[in-house]
Chain A
Amino acid sequence: MALRTIEEINQKIKKGNVVVFTAEEIIGMVKEKGLKKAAEEVDVVTTGTFGPMCSSSAYLNIGHSNPRIKLGGGKVYLNSVPAYAGFAAVDIIIGATALPDDDPRNRNHPGEFNYGGGHIIEELTAGKDIRLEATAYGTDCYPRKKLETFINIKDLNEAVLFNMRNSYQNYNVAVNLSDKTIYTYMGILRPHLANANYCSAGQLSPLLNDPHYKTIGIGTKIFLGGGIGYVAWQGTQHNPMALRGENGVPKRTAGTLAVIGDLKQMSPEWVVGTSFVGYGTTLTVGIGVPIPILSEEILKYTTVTDDEIYAAVVDYSDAYPHMKPTVLGEVNYAQLKTGKITVQGKKVPTASFSSYAKAVEIAATLKDWIKTGKFDLTQPVAPLPGVESGLTFKPLKERAINNV
């Protein structure tokens, strides 16, 4: 039975008497008051996550120069990092993992990857001047062939954070079974199961609090990078069919979100350029999603605790790179957060790449925004594909090209 509508929640936000808990606070509240009573009282539960998310980007419209230049089909660099310009005259997009052409990369393994697209996005957000260098082929209507200028976010027509895959619903725990150190997007993994790295906010993570996407959908308004954003679509590799526990919570990497928002409103505190030794650059993004408590069932899902969320331990020296489905075991986030897990009988120290402390801060900030009327809720315009869609995540079907 529906307890309330989003419209009714928004009325309460306007009046200033909305009841909001974070996904961490709600656990104890429901334990104390019981599900039924809590569901009657609580309008919204806020979630948060802050971790490296590689499929992140920013698109910019830099404005037209005089004479005009058509960057589309040409080459564009932002502080020597290549941006993609395959659009109309002055629209470009910069991805988090882009690297300067002269970056040594992994030529001397492991490479340092000190500066890339993620850092450009952070510096843009921070209001720093960025050097733009572009070459174009010149046309009758866009005669200019070369452009060198500083750009600043405040002068751009648009600066939009657009991340095609963020906020993974659960993630692998990475280990290394080989006899040499490996450098991965899950950090430095020492040989013979010497350490295990994980990356999820667990009980605070948005999609783990709404495992069947009952409230989070296309058009859901969210906290994105310290500003306001929206869920634009399901993220790439969205995989609702992933293995789930009896509580409905995925035990493997499952759903994802594509998100969009005005970069001009965001803050470099929540959009952080990040480097992974031997792997590359990326962007660490802060995301918070409000969950409207429309039913007892929805509230029940938000009370999920770390010890009820399981993740797969995966060997990144062999199973991961070679697409082998082998899982070394399952551990829950309560175990991961003690700093030690047991894998194949061995005690392995753990470290996180997702900041739980920052996730708490995001959920608390979003709660504060809602309580003070700065943020209202939206009704999704379409749901994300769930289990009923049968949507799965396919590997590449590689086919030989014969007539080369």
Chain B
Amino acid sequence: MVSKKIVLHFSRRLVDRPIVYHLIKDYDLEFNILKAQVTPAEEGMMVLELKGKQGDFDRGIKFLTDTGVVIDALSESILRNEQRCTHCGACVTMCPTGAFELDLVTRKTKFLPAKCIVCGLCIKGCPPRAMELHF
């Protein structure tokens, strides 16, 4: 099994075509849409967490590329500046995916990057501004 977070860019001519559904139907892949948007110029962007058998995964990626979708690895990530974090815990309820956890013994806030979908809500919400977007 492989599981990867990828970014798909759809050009204007692809925006109105059903594409990602083929990943399930024809390639037996499982996905979770982390982020999706269509810009005013009508280009589409979607962040997917894609999961499946290696062979299916590779064929699925080839299918996407063949249709004209441009694929990037998820290159943005949210990092915590450990020096600025005061462990107040304000982020815990702010994060929609539960990427922050309060250690009930140390009362420190743990950041779990594996659960992070790079939505960015924590960046402005963190009082000492310890959460940073990296490219």
Task: Say which residue of B107, B124, B125, B129 sits within 8 Å of A357 (CB atoms).
Answer: B107
Stretch in A6-14, A269-277, A365-373 with 4+ CB within 8 Å of B: A269-277
Cα A275 to Cα B122 in complex, Å, equals 12
- A274 partner residues in chain B, CB cutoff 8 A: 127-128
A contact patch SS: strand
Any A CB within 8 A of the CB of B3: no
Cα A197 to Cα B107 in complex, Å, equals 16
Stretch in A81-89, A232-240, A345-353, A387-395 with 4+ CB within 8 Å of B: A345-353
Any B CB within 8 A of the CB of A73: no
Any A CB within 8 A of the CB of B75: no
Any A CB within 8 A of the CB of B87: yes
- B124 partner residues in chain A, CB cutoff 8 A: 112, 275, 277
Task: Say which residue of B86, B102, B104 sits within 8 Å of A272 (CB atoms).
Answer: B86
CB 8 Å contact bits of B95-135 with A (1 = contact, 0 = none): 00000001010111000000000000000110111000000
Task: Say which residue of B88, B94, B104 sits within 8 Å of A355 (CB atoms).
Answer: B88
Residues 273-287 of A at the B interface (beta carbon under 8 Å): 273-277, 282, 284
Given A339-B102, A356-B107, the answer on whether A351 and B129 have CB atoms closer than 8 Å is no
B-side interface residues, number (CB < 8 Å):
20
Given A112-B124, A277-B125, the answer on whether A187 and B90 have CB atoms closer than 8 Å is yes
Nearest-Cβ distance from residue B92 to partner chain A, whole angstroms? 5
Any B CB within 8 A of the CB of A55: no
Given A272-B86, A284-B86, A357-B107, the answer on whether A350 and B127 have CB atoms closer than 8 Å is no
CB 8 Å contact bits of A185-197 with B (1 = contact, 0 = none): 0011000000101
Task: Say which residue of A51, A195, A277 sits within 8 Å of B88 (CB atoms).
Answer: A51
Nearest-Cβ distance from residue B46 to partner chain A, whole angstroms? 25
Are B92 and A360 touching (Cβ within 8 A)?
A: no
Any B CB within 8 A of the CB of A61: no
Any B CB within 8 A of the CB of A358: yes
Any B CB within 8 A of the CB of A114: yes
Going nearest first, the 3 A-B pairs with the smallest beta carbon separation are A356-B107, A357-B87, A351-B93
Q: Chain B residues in contact with chain A, CB under 8 A?
A: 84, 86-94, 102, 104, 106-108, 124-125, 127-129
A-B contact pairs, 6 of them (CB 8 A): A52-B127, A112-B124, A188-B94, A195-B94, A355-B86, A356-B89
